[in-house]
Amino acid sequence: MNPLTSIPQRLVSSPCGGFSIPEEALSGPELESLQSALLREAVAFARRRSPFYRAHFSRFVDPDSPAWGLPEFRALPTTGKDDLVRLNRDFLAVDSSRVADIVATSGTTGRPIRFFLTARDIERLAENERQSFLCAGVRPGETYHLAVSLDNMFVAGLAYFSGLVRIGAAAVRQGPGNPLRHVHLLGDIRPAGIVCVPSFMLELARVSEREGIDPSSLGLQRGIFVGETIRNGDFSPNALGRRIAADWGIRLHSSYGATEICTSLTECEHGRGGHLHPTLMYAEILDERGQPLPRGEAGELVVTTFGVEAMPLVRYRTGDVSFIETGPCPCGRTTPRLGPILGRRTQMIKLKGAQIYPGQVEDCIREVPEVVNYQIEAYTGDDYADRLRVFVGAAPGSDGIVDLLREKVRAQARVTPEFVALSPDAVRERLFAGGSRKARRFVDSRRPAS
């Protein structure tokens, strides 16, 4: 199975719609029939080659049987991060001698997961990024500044680099850190765009201004942002996105990806969610009970990868909460789009029946400049229900800030957490309690359900 070679032949008679990726112009029924065929291949491959899936799917309908279809696929059990950590090498669907790259997840949301790729998987990543970058408007001959890690077992930087090369664009592999050098390089090389973590982009603007350089004079046209959300649930830029756009005068593109799913998605110039790549993965949104949610409703993103050789995943629960948009995109592509990541499934808090993620509260807080720092805590009340408390450190003289924040969160997120005003020093102590090197902006003190 190799979708990179077999799919274009299958689609040879399909209209291209002017896009360089023919699958981006398929009609709804064409897309469904393509993905059904790919799902069948993906499940058959995983079941045949990966010891984990052979056992995991042994009691379910064989995808080679004629009756197999979407209902049989949806009956398959999901796979989680715990499975990948616990039974890591059982996922391998190739002989270990064919492994070409060993990578790891960052471990920010749990134990790091080790992940294996063959040479062809690396090629597939390059093809994925080619499609993603083309969607964002990257063109041959342009130069892009990569402010993300290319080493340390991270896979994304390598994928971005290879995708740019495949398009015929140039890359500046500066990596993270050392913001002053970034600013000098941006001024010298004047790339068309940057691939960056949004909060680092704010730091670059601060350093640039300190040097007397207006960031918007550096000539960047677009930023492709990874790792943090720059949009609200309605696709409008959040406080972080708005600040970046104001500092740099650039077009914002949000990009989503995860090491395990070997796939990333990037927004087109209209910024209405990352366009899915139909030949590289299948996305579902599931509710808490594992049932599919209608298009547009928020739930956990669950992914099946296509064309991955070493560690293919079927119905993999990413832990990220988002939604899928299927309405027309002004760019003309017909592919569904993944909305902004609203939070992590495990961080979901139920307040009087409403669901809320810490990130939604953070988006509101970040819009209030008087807030110096903050920490959000979820805990269990005496009635065993979830509660949400926000510790706010504010500049001296900002009386009434708690009332302002309460109103803002109530209006935007439709919940009312408790707010506790503290000195910025007291909040800082909470953020770095226990010698934590990273600020803990969200603390989950809830009692596990018994």
Contact set with Zn ion (CB under 5 A): 268, 270, 329, 331, 333
Helix (H, G, I), strand (E, B) or coil at 404: helix
**C-beta of 222: minimal distance to Zn ion in Å?**
14
402/409 Cα distance (integer angstroms): 11
Nearer to Zn ion, 333 or 344 (CB): 333
| N-to-C CA span, the chain | 45
119/82 Cα distance (integer angstroms): 26
Nearer to Zn ion, 49 or 333 (CB): 333
**C-beta of 124: minimal distance to Zn ion in Å?**
23
**C-beta of 332: minimal distance to Zn ion in Å?**
7
Are the C-beta atoms of residues 144 and 193 closer than 8 Å to each other?
A: yes
Nearer to Zn ion, 166 or 333 (CB): 333
Q: What's the angle, vertex CA 303, arms to CA 301 and CA 305, rounded to 5?
A: 160
Amino acid identity for residue 382 in this structure: D
Nearer to Zn ion, 270 or 441 (CB): 270
**C-beta of 269: minimal distance to Zn ion in Å?**
7
Amino acid identity for residue 15 in this structure: P
Amino acid identity for residue 318 in this structure: T
Nearer to Zn ion, 195 or 329 (CB): 329
Nearer to Zn ion, 281 or 286 (CB): 281
For tokens 């810490």, the residue is 358
β-pairing, 263-266 with 274-275?
unpaired
Q: Which of 339, 346, 363 is nearest to 415 (CA)?
A: 363
**C-beta of 125: minimal distance to Zn ion in Å?**
22
Nearer to Zn ion, 261 or 329 (CB): 329
| Residue 165 CB-density burial (10 A; 0-12 exposed, 13-18 middle, 19+ buried) | middle
Nearer to Zn ion, 164 or 331 (CB): 331
Helix (H, G, I), strand (E, B) or coil at 237: strand
57/44 Cα distance (integer angstroms): 10
**C-beta of 339: minimal distance to Zn ion in Å?**
13
**C-beta of 161: minimal distance to Zn ion in Å?**
24
Q: Please spell the DSSP secondary structure of 128-162, one letter per residue.
A: HHHHHHHHHT--TT-EEEE-S-SSTT-SHHHHHHH
**C-beta of 235: minimal distance to Zn ion in Å?**
11
**C-beta of 174: minimal distance to Zn ion in Å?**
29
| Residue 358 CB-density burial (10 A; 0-12 exposed, 13-18 middle, 19+ buried) | buried
**C-beta of 346: minimal distance to Zn ion in Å?**
31
E strand or H helix that includes residue 366: none
Are the C-beta atoms of residues 324 and 285 closer than 8 Å to each other?
A: yes
Are the C-beta atoms of residues 211 and 185 closer than 8 Å to each other?
A: no
Helices (H), 211-251: 239-248
Nearer to Zn ion, 24 or 247 (CB): 24
Nearer to Zn ion, 19 or 154 (CB): 19
- What backbone phi and psi angles, to 5 degrees, belong to 186? -60, -40
